[in-house]
A and B are shown apart, each in its own frame.
Chain A
């Protein structure tokens, strides 16, 4: 049995310890905001926080989360990034956006006023096939209370 906190609630999971955390979140706990993209940590769609650090949940064995705190897009609630995303209509298809927001949230938590270079480097592992990168960068700046360009 694996015990972990998910979005502030203690959960017990009777699953294979090697099961990817993403499967546990989506298929066992029903938290489908986190997306499956590549399954190889190459696209960032599955990004969640583990004790505040960004991890790609598609390659993170659930056993690694035992005794730790997992935050998913559902756990951000009314985050400034989510408001900026809505205000600026950032998503197009939307599939990658929960991962984008989770990475951006970790960035702002450590660096409240990021430079363009900081944003680009931190979000380099989150791909968007719709090409919304400029909107994403602008929304991160708005959430940080910075000029958008």
Chain B
């Protein structure tokens, strides 16, 4: 974890530098930024609610959500098993039920489980698969969304996502500023 955090901090610091680099270097930097961000995207605190199926996952080993819920038509569950029926807008310390505003699973087209960093990158840039967001909105979503923020405050001894939301926001912003390039298919963080 400290190694990951150090890398994120270093990259976040780089993101604040405004020196122009040659195009090839900028593209390489951009791919590196995305790989760093993918550490967060593929962490179970984030990926568990970006499932490639009907059911969200839970735990570090990605077990199916228990009780058995399904996403339903609006990704908030079905009648009787709506996400908000159990999950509040905050973590519950005693009951250990995680919670944040607008608790729900990401739409099917935003599935991350089983995807490579490149596949996620292409997906995130595609308005048909990112909720119609611009790149600027993608940056804002990662940096400020309250449900995304839960990844770093998961409660009850759950391992948080790497780094901080602020650092992720800076890394994603740097990725966009350097051209929003996607890493090679085989590249891993």
Contact = CB atoms under 8 A, between A and B. Distances in A.
Interface of A: 39-42, 44, 53-56, 58-61, 64, 103-104, 106-107, 110-111, 118, 121-126
Given A42-B67, A61-B88, A64-B88, A124 B97 contact: no
Interface in B64-113: 66-70, 78-82, 84-86, 88, 92, 94-97
A35 to B, nearest CB: 16
Interface in B29-47: none
Nearest to B99: A59
Given A42-B66, A61-B88, 14 more contacts: A40-B97, A41-B67, A41-B86, A42-B67, A54-B82, A55-B86, A56-B85, A56-B86, A106-B79, A107-B79, A107-B80, A122-B81, A125-B69, A125-B81
The 9 lowest CB-CB distance pairs between A and B, nearest first, are A122-B80, A41-B86, A125-B67, A103-B80, A59-B95, A124-B68, A110-B79, A40-B95, A55-B85
Interface of B: 66-70, 78-82, 84-86, 88, 92, 94-97
Given A54-B82, A59-B88, A60-B88, A124 B67 contact: yes
A123 to B, nearest CB: 6
B92 A59 contact: yes
B97 A59 contact: yes
Contacts of A103: 80
Nearest to B66: A42
A52 to B, nearest CB: 10
A118 B86 CA distance: 19
Contacts of B78: 118, 121-122
14 contacts: A41-B85, A41-B97, A53-B84, A53-B85, A56-B86, A59-B86, A59-B95, A59-B97, A64-B88, A122-B78, A122-B79, A122-B81, A125-B85, A125-B86
